[in-house]
Structure 1
Amino acid sequence: MEYLGRVPAPPLDRFIDDIYCLSGVPRHRRMNVPPMPSAHLFINLGEPARLLDSDPSVPSEVFADGWFMGLWTRRFLVEYPTRVRLVGVHFKPWGLSPFVDMPVAELRDRWVPVDAVWQRSLDRIRNQVGEVASAAEALRIVEEELLARLAEAPARGLGLVRHTGVRLETSHGAVPVGALADAAGVSGNHLAVQFKSHVGVTPKRVARIYRFARLILSVDALRPVDWSDLAHMAGYFDHAHFSREFKDFTGHTPTEYLALRRRFPAEAGFPPDSGPMPAD
């Protein structure tokens, strides 16, 4: 499967980490995706894909067109078709808010059809991309759509959330939430309310996900791994808590996860995203 991605031009880069295109035959049909500090938009240009929640009480869903996903606090699974052609957008945790006219909390831990959020827009986007457009052209079209939909005036509180979120991003979740609130000159409760409005979760939960992302992206499967050192570097000071969270977020123990990483190394040409793992 081929990957092409890029960071969008300003001002979109304040809210979006990257836009990318996947095409071709996937090496693995089903991928297990842990929580990562991103919200998502997928525009499906190929065969239908299936999404499965790690919560067995939530029914799976098949998407032929496209879907939004807010920030996820638990793992989910993606079942690719035999051939893939889709454009994806990784929003920063606070990045989805200025593009959707609905409470972001309603997208947390959920997948929602694109037309339920951007009404009557998906067919237009898909028609522009068509069946023959190159990956680069598909990225350009989606970037133009995002730029057109970016709110001209930021919603109340988004500046505070973005400023605080950037500190969490650059510190990998290591800055205490109380220190973030003090630095911003607001109460912890006020900061939590604004994060729930523009991210869907509290800053403490965002810090937790950034901390885990730092840990998982630090794993070098080609070398011996000292999990205690990695956990301490990422801010885990309780080994039992680290072990529980790792199993909750990945579905595996650290030893099982490392064995999978060694068995299924990342595909050449893909970004260094070591979170998703084959589930088949």
Structure 2
Amino acid sequence: MRYVGRVPGPPLDRFIDDIYCLSGVPRYRRVLVPPMPSAHLFINLGDPVQLTVPDLAVPSASLVDGWFMGLWTERFLLAYPARVRMVGVHFKPWGLSAFTDIPALELRNRCVPVDAVWQRALERIRGRLGELGAAVDALDLVEQELRSRLVESRSDTLDLVAQVGTRLARSYGSVSVAALGDAAGVSGNHLTAQFKSHVGVTPKRVARIYRFARLILSVDARGPVDWTEFAHAAGYFDQAHASKEFKDFTGHTPTGYLALRRRFPAEDRFPPDAGPMPIE
């Protein structure tokens, strides 16, 4: 499967990590996706993608045409079709609030059809994407759509969350909520309320996800791994704390994850494969 992506220019880069195209035969048809610091937009030009959560009482979802995903705080499973053709956007945790007025709490751990967020837009967008052959043209089109939908008169509270969230991202979640509030000149309770409004979770939860992302993305499964060293580098109190978080987020122990990655290596220069894990 081929990945082509880029970071958009200002002001979109305050809210978006990258815009990308996926196409071709997936290396792994089924992958487990741990909580990562992103919300998503997917525009599917191919066959449906199946999404399943570990809770067997929750039915799987067939994702067709296009959908938004808010920030996820639990792992989920994706089953790709035999061939993939998709355009996607990785939003920063607070990014969707700059393009929609749907409360972030309503998007947390949920998939929502594009037309439920952007009224009657999906058919037009998919139609135009279907006429394009080059990935770079598809990226241009989606970026233009995002620029047209960016809310120019953003609230001061979204700017506050973006400012604090950027600091969380740069510190990989190592700054306390109290210190973040003090630096921003607001109380911890106010900051928590605004994160719930624009992200769907508390700043403490966002910090946990950034910290875990640093841990999992920094591990090179091709060589020996000192988990104690990695745990401290990622900001965990000790290895036991990191191991519990790893199990909660992935369903695997760190040792089990390494064994899986050594059997199924991540693809070089393929960002979407850095966090998701193949399922046997």
- TM bucket (normalised to shorter chain) is over 0.9
Matched with 2:7 is 7
Matched with 1:72 is 72
Q: What is the root-mean-square deviation in Å for CA atoms of aligned residues? A: 1.2
Matched with 2:146 is 146
Contact preservation (8 Å) 1:98, 1:155:
no
Tell me the alpha carbon deviations over residues 174-195 of structure 1, each in whole angstroms, 9 at most, x when there is no partner. Answer: 0111100011111100000000
Contact preservation (8 Å) 2:16, 2:92:
yes
Matched with 2:46 is 46
Deviation at 1:242, TM superposition (A): 2.0
Contact preservation (8 Å) 2:169, 2:210:
yes
Contact preservation (8 Å) 2:191, 2:203:
yes
Distance 2:89 2:272 in 1: 16
Deviation at 1:232, TM superposition (A): 1.1
Tell me the alpha carbon deviations over residues 169-223 of structure 1, each in whole angstroms, 9 at most, x when there is no partner. Answer: 1000001111000111111000000000000000000000000000001101111
Matched, 1:109 2:109: yes
The amino acid that maps onto 1:166 is T
The amino acid that maps onto 2:211 is R
Identity of aligned residues (%): 71
The amino acid that maps onto 1:56 is L
Distance 2:96 2:181 in 1: 22
Tell me the SS of whatever aligns to 1:159.
Answer: helix
The amino acid that maps onto 2:203 is P
Contact preservation (8 Å) 1:105, 1:196:
yes
Shift in CA distance, 168/189, structure 1 to aligned 2, threshold 3 Å: same
Tell me the alpha carbon deviations over residues 211-254 of structure 1, each in whole angstroms, 9 at most, x when there is no partner. Answer: 00000011011110011110111111143332221111111110
TM-score normalised by the chain length of structure 1: 0.97
Tell me the alpha carbon deviations over residues 67-92 of structure 1, each in whole angstroms, 9 at most, x when there is no partner. Answer: 11111111111110010000110000
The amino acid that maps onto 1:84 is V
Tell me the SS of whatever aligns to 1:96.
Answer: helix
Residue range with higher mean Cα deviation, 112-121 or 236-245: 236-245
The amino acid that maps onto 1:129 is L
Tell me the SS of whatever aligns to 2:98.
Answer: helix
Matched with 1:232 is 232
Contact preservation (8 Å) 1:54, 1:74:
no
Tell me the SS of whatever aligns to 2:271.
Answer: coil
Matched with 2:267 is 267
The amino acid that maps onto 1:106 is E
Tell me the SS of whatever aligns to 1:157.
Answer: helix
Contact preservation (8 Å) 1:71, 1:109:
yes
Unaligned runs of 5+ in 1: none
Contact preservation (8 Å) 2:132, 2:138:
no
Matched with 1:220 is 220
Distance 2:216 2:272 in 1: 11
Tell me the SS of whatever aligns to 1:47.
Answer: coil
Distance 1:270 1:155 in 2: 35
Contact preservation (8 Å) 1:68, 1:113:
yes
Q: Output aligned runs, 1:6-45, within 5 Å.
A: 6-45=6-45
The amino acid that maps onto 1:256 is G
Matched with 1:191 is 191
Off by >3 Å, runs of 4+ in structure 1: none
Distance 2:2 2:191 in 1: 41
Distance 2:233 2:115 in 1: 42
Deviation at 1:116, TM superposition (A): 1.1
TM-score normalised by the chain length of structure 2: 0.97
The amino acid that maps onto 1:128 is R
Tell me the SS of whatever aligns to 1:200.
Answer: coil
Instruction: State how many pairs are aligned.
Output: 280
